[in-house]
Amino acid sequence: MLKIENLYKWYGSKLAVNNISLELKKGEVLGFIGPNGAGKSTTMRMLTGFLPISKGKIEIDGIDITKNAELAKSKFGYLPENAPLYMNMTILEFLTFCTEIRGYRGKEIKIKVKDILEKCFLDDVKNQTIHTLSKGYRHRTCFAQSIIHNPDFLILDEPTDGLDPNQKYEIRNIIKEFGKEKAVLLSTHILEEVEMVCDRVIIINQGSKIYDGTPQALKNHFGSPKPLDQVFREMTTEKSKE
């Protein structure tokens, strides 16, 4: 579904992403984590076509994103961090608009919108103007647009940011269900989320991939089991003082 080969990104003389390769297949939720400044966001932006690739290759469903960006982008849903919204629209109007620009017409639009409102628990507030919504509801609306066309591949950047514990639980369950048949790349700083949702996790640090395996194996990375946050800290700093 997703294949990244020997990916590099330079900003002038600064190497931000250093020879990263990974594969993601259907039926898998992959956690993509790293400290601030590790190159995670830069990798995500190249993957979604927002940044040009300095060197390497990205294929989505066998389509090279540098050669056919429009077709490659049609294959995935994307929830960026701080996703933009049209504040003067209602949720219903916004999701209808998103469905239309995805190419749906007529009755298909109503069916898609009705389904996504129910799935993302937005039906009760569908007629509220977006600027009146809490941060949690706005984020849930952004999440809804990312899956409204039922993509085979989903890219999520901090999908539970700003949500209360109940909303986080609901969204995480949606991601887990989605990941049973689809491919999901989940970027998050919440290690609890990685443990609860992800089948596999990749850690990058200083632009390079330093771990690729299951969350459980990550806990045992240094021999005896340790909490994920402690292992993460030891792997991404010179040495944990604890």
User: What ranges do the domains of the chain cover?
Assistant: 1-75+154-242, 81-150
With 0-12 / 13-18 / 19 or more C-beta atoms within 10 angstroms meaning exposed / middle / buried, residue 117 is: buried
Given the candidates 3.40.50.300, 3.90.1170.50, 1.10.287.1260, 3.30.70.890, the CATH classification of the domain at 1-75+154-242 is 3.40.50.300
Cβ–Cβ contacts within 10 Å for residue 24, how many? 20
> Which pLDDT belongs to residue 1?
83
178 or 5, higher pLDDT: 5
**Residues 6+ positions from 162 with CB-CB distance below 8 Å:** 135, 136, 138, 139
Contact predicate 209/31, CB 8 Å: no
Tokens in use for 119?
Answer: 């799935």
Q: What is the mean pLDDT of the chain?
A: 91
pLDDT tier at 130, thresholds 50, 70, 90: very high
